[in-house]
Chain A
C-alpha cells in the first residue's frame, strides 16, 4: 500500500516559487484541451486560436497591453495591501476616482495646456485614488470597521457618482445629449508608444516602473520588511515597534494611488474622455491578477498579461470557434485554481511511502 505524504519543507523552495506558475499554466492548458475535446472542438487548434492567435498580429498585442496596463498597476498596489493583511476590495472605486480627479483639469480648464498638463493629470489621478482609499483606512483604524465591506461598498458610491457626473455637470454641451465629457484635446492624451502599429500608450511604462519599484521596496527595504512582518505576524510587528494603523494607511494610500493612476491613464490614454463607465471591472479582475502573480510584483506583470490574454482569447474563440465568451471565465477560474494548488509545492514536498507497519501487521 502506498501513501502520499506532504512533508513540510524547512524553508520555502526557491525552485518551486519560480516554477509553480508555469506548472499551473501547463495544467490549465491540459484541462482546457480536455474541455474543448468534451464539447466536440479539436483541442489543439482551439487552444491555438485561444492563446496563440491573439499574439500573432501586432495590433492585437497592443490590445493585450492596453488591457494588461490597468490590471498590472492596480494589482501591484493590491499586493502591498494583501501582504500587509489589509483587504482592499475597492480598487474599482479608487480607479474611478482617479479617473474623475485626473480629468478635472481638461474638463474644467479646457484652455490649460502645455507640457505640465499630463504630469498634473497623473498626479491628480493618484491623489484622487489615494484620497478615496483613505476612507476605508480611516474607518478601519479609527472605528475598527471591516475594510472589506467599506472598501467594497465605496465602489458602488464611486460608480454612481461617476454616472451622475458624466450625465450631469460634466456632460459635453455639444454632445447631442449623449452622456460623457468633452473629448480630451491631444495635449491631454497619453502618447502612444508606437502609433503606427497600435494603440498601446505610455501607461504600460508606468505599470512596469511601478512593479519594479514596489518589488524592490518589498524585497530589499525596511519598509518592505515592515509590510511583510505586520502581515504575517501582527504581534511580532508590534514587538518590533511598527504601527499596524500607520501600515493600514500606507497600504491603502499606496494601492489607492496606483489604482487612481490606472484610472487616469485609462481615461487619458485608452478612452479619451470621461464616460459614465470607464472600467469593465479592472479593479476586481486585478484581485485575481494579484493572487495569480502570488503577490509578487514581477509575477503580477506576467499574471496581468496572462489575464489580459484570456480576455482577448475569449473574444477570438467566440469568433473562430463559435464558443461562448464565458470560456474566458472558465480559463481564469482554472488558472487561479491550479496556481493556488501548485503553491503547495513551495511549502511542501511530496513523498510516496510504502507502509512497512501495515505489512508487519499482516504478517503477525
Chain B
C-alpha cells in the first residue's frame, strides 16, 4: 500500500482505537483497543459472547463499527466489505469452512479470488505455495473426499494466495488431531519469520501460551487485559477471560460396584445415506450407570451418523442394535427413546438442537413435550405457557445463560450461551442416559468447565453419559474410558488410566482399531 507505517515511530500494522458495536441492547464491542505489529502472533482471547467474532468481522469488513477508528499502517481506513479487506492485505480463515463439497480444491480456490485466473494457473500456484509452507494439497482432489485437516489447508492456502500481511485464524485447531495441529504451528512460525502477522483466536490456553507473542483479552465486549501469554499461566489467562477463577473440572474416580449397562449398542450397521456420508460398520459399545464414555475422532468419521442412529432420528434394521435400560429400542423413534429415559444433544445448535427463529421457551418444549407432557401440556394439547416459562427461567439461571431479552429467539444468543441452554434443557430432566455430540464446541473456557462438570456429576449420580467430541483435552477431562471413531468404525474403549494422547492420536489417524485393546503394548513399544 504505502510505506508510511514502516518509517514512522510506531511500526504498527493494524491499530484499532475505541471501536464499538451495539446489537439491540447488547454492547458487543465497547471501546476496544488493539494493535498488531508486523511479524507477531497475536492472540484474541475471550469467552463466547465476549465480542471476538464481532471485532474480527469489523476488521474483515463484514460488519460496520458504530464508532471508533481502524488504522492500517497508521492510516485511518473504512473497511466496507471483505473484498476491500483483502485488497488492504487482511486475510481470514473461518472456523466454519466455506467450501463446496462437490468441487475440486482448485475450483474452490478460484471461486474466492477477486481476479480472474485460469484454473490450471491457480492449481499450480496453490501447489507451489502449499509445498513452500508445509501445507501439501492436491488441487485436483474433490473437497468432499478430503479430511477436515486437508480442508483447512485449502482455506489457508486460499488465504495466502492473496498475499496478506495480516492473517486472521478463527479457532483453527478445534477440528484437528494433535499431530495435525503441530504441523499447523510450524506453518504459522514460518509465516511469522517472514514478517507476516497473525491474529489467532482460540480458547485453548495451552496453545495460546505456546505460540502467541502477545494477547488481547476481551470480556463482555471490553478489553480487560493486554498481556504476554508466556508470562502467564493457563489459569491466570482463564481468570482474565471469565473475570473469576475457573474451577478446574473435578472427576472423582468411579466408586462402588459396576453399574448396569444403560445404553448398549450391539453390532450397529448403517449404509451411507449420501455420497459424502460415512457408513457405520459393526459398532458395539456399552455405557454403564455412573460412567462417562468418550468417543474421540477427527470430524467426519461417522460421529454424526452414529449420533443420529443412537438418538433414533434414524431407525435401525434390527430392534436389538440399540438398547436402552435393558430393552430393545432399535425400531423406536426419538420420542419413545426419550421416554425410555434418554436425552440427546446434537452437534449443530441452530437448526438441529434448536429452531433459530423460535423463542427459548419454545425450544424448551422442542425436546420435552412428551417426556414432560403432564407439566407442559393441558387437555387437547394446549400448551401451558406458565409452566414452560418457569422451567426456562430455571434452566437459564442454573446454566448462567446470558441473553439480551426476556425470552429471545434462539438465534439471538451467542453460540456458547445457546449451548448452555440446550445442555441445561436436557440435564433439567435428569435423564438416565445422555448422549451428547461436541458438548463444548466453540464454547468459552468458563462455560465449558461448567458443562463438563455437569456431565460428570450427572454420571456420578447414576446416569450413563456418552460424549462424542473432537476435543481431546475435553475427553481426557471427563471420560472414564475413551473409544476412537475412524472411518465409521469404533475402537474398543481404552480405560482413562491407560489412555495417552499419543495412543488416541494414532487411533484417530487410522491405526487398526483392533490394536486399541492392546494399548499397553503399543505404548510400551
Question: Do A and B make up one complex?
Answer: yes
Residues of A near any B CB (own CB < 8 A) = 5, 7-12, 220-223, 225, 228-229, 232-233, 235-241, 353, 355-358, 360-361, 364
Interface residues on B, range: 35 or more
Q: If A232-B357, A236-B354, A239-B366 touch, does A360 touch B76 (CB 8 Å cutoff)?
A: yes
Residues of A within 8 A of B369 (CB): 222, 225, 240
Residues of B within 8 A of A355 (CB): 78
> Could you show 22 A-B contacts with beta carbons less than 8 Å apart?
A10-B24, A10-B409, A10-B412, A11-B412, A220-B382, A220-B383, A222-B383, A225-B365, A229-B358, A229-B366, A232-B356, A232-B358, A235-B348, A238-B313, A239-B353, A239-B366, A240-B369, A241-B335, A241-B370, A355-B78, A357-B76, A361-B77
Residues of A within 8 A of B377 (CB): 222
Distance in Å from the Cβ of A219 to the closest Cβ of chain B? 9
Tell me what chain A mostly uses at the interface: helix, strand, loop, or mixed. Answer: helix
A-contact bits for B27-44, CB 8 A (1 contact / 0 none): 000000000000000000
Distance in Å from the Cβ of A325 to the closest Cβ of chain B? 40
State A221–B352 Cα separation when bound (angstroms): 22
Q: Does B359 contact A (CB under 8 A)?
A: yes
Which of A7, A225, A233, A356 contacts B24 (CB under 8 A)?
A7
Which of B334, B352, B354, B412 contacts A241 (CB under 8 A)?
B334
Q: Does B439 contact A (CB under 8 A)?
A: no
State A238–B366 Cα separation when bound (angstroms): 10
Task: Please name the residue on chain B nearest to A362 by beta carbon.
Answer: B76
State A358–B79 Cα separation when bound (angstroms): 11
State A317–B352 Cα separation when bound (angstroms): 53
> Quick check: A236 and B352 within 8 Å, CB to CB?
yes
> Quick check: A357 and B65 within 8 Å, CB to CB?
yes
Residues of A within 8 A of B365 (CB): 222, 225
A11-B407, A225-B365, A239-B353 known; 11 other A-B pairs, CB under 8 Å?
A: A7-B24, A221-B383, A229-B362, A236-B351, A236-B352, A236-B354, A239-B346, A241-B334, A241-B338, A357-B78, A364-B75
Residues of A within 8 A of B355 (CB): 229, 232-233, 236-237
Task: Please name the residue on chain A nearest to B376 by beta carbon.
Answer: A222
State A225–B64 Cα separation when bound (angstroms): 37
> Quick check: A228 and B358 within 8 Å, CB to CB?
yes
Distance in Å from the Cβ of B347 to the closest Cβ of chain A? 11
> Quick check: A233 and B356 within 8 Å, CB to CB?
yes
Q: Does B25 contact A (CB under 8 A)?
A: yes
Distance in Å from the Cβ of B10 to the closest Cβ of chain A? 16
State A221–B311 Cα separation when bound (angstroms): 25
Residues of A within 8 A of B356 (CB): 232-233
Which of B23, B313, B335 contacts A10 (CB under 8 A)?
B23
Task: Please name the residue on chain B nearest to A240 by beta carbon.
Answer: B366
Q: Does B195 contact A (CB under 8 A)?
A: no
State A239–B335 Cα separation when bound (angstroms): 9
Residues of A within 8 A of B24 (CB): 7-10
Q: If A11-B409, A239-B367 touch, does A361 touch B358 (CB 8 Å cutoff)?
A: no
State A12–B356 Cα separation when bound (angstroms): 13
Distance in Å from the Cβ of B253 to the closest Cβ of chain A? 34
Distance in Å from the Cβ of B195 to the closest Cβ of chain A? 26
Distance in Å from the Cβ of B412 to the closest Cβ of chain A? 4
> Quick check: A10 and B405 within 8 Å, CB to CB?
yes
Distance in Å from the Cβ of B181 to the closest Cβ of chain A? 31
Q: Does B404 contact A (CB under 8 A)?
A: yes
State A358–B369 Cα separation when bound (angstroms): 52
Q: Does B66 contact A (CB under 8 A)?
A: yes
Which of A10, A225, A238 contacts B25 (CB under 8 A)?
A10
Task: Please name the residue on chain B nearest to A9 by beta carbon.
Answer: B24
Distance in Å from the Cβ of B442 to the closest Cβ of chain A? 19
Distance in Å from the Cβ of A260 to the closest Cβ of chain B? 24
Distance in Å from the Cβ of B406 to the closest Cβ of chain A? 9
> Quick check: A235 and B352 within 8 Å, CB to CB?
yes
Residues of B within 8 A of A353 (CB): 66
Q: If A232-B358, A241-B370 touch, does A10 touch B404 (CB 8 Å cutoff)?
A: yes
Distance in Å from the Cβ of A5 to the closest Cβ of chain B? 8
State A358–B313 Cα separation when bound (angstroms): 52
> Quick check: B362 and A225 within 8 Å, CB to CB?
yes
State A360–B75 Cα separation when bound (angstroms): 10
> Quick check: B370 and A358 within 8 Å, CB to CB?
no
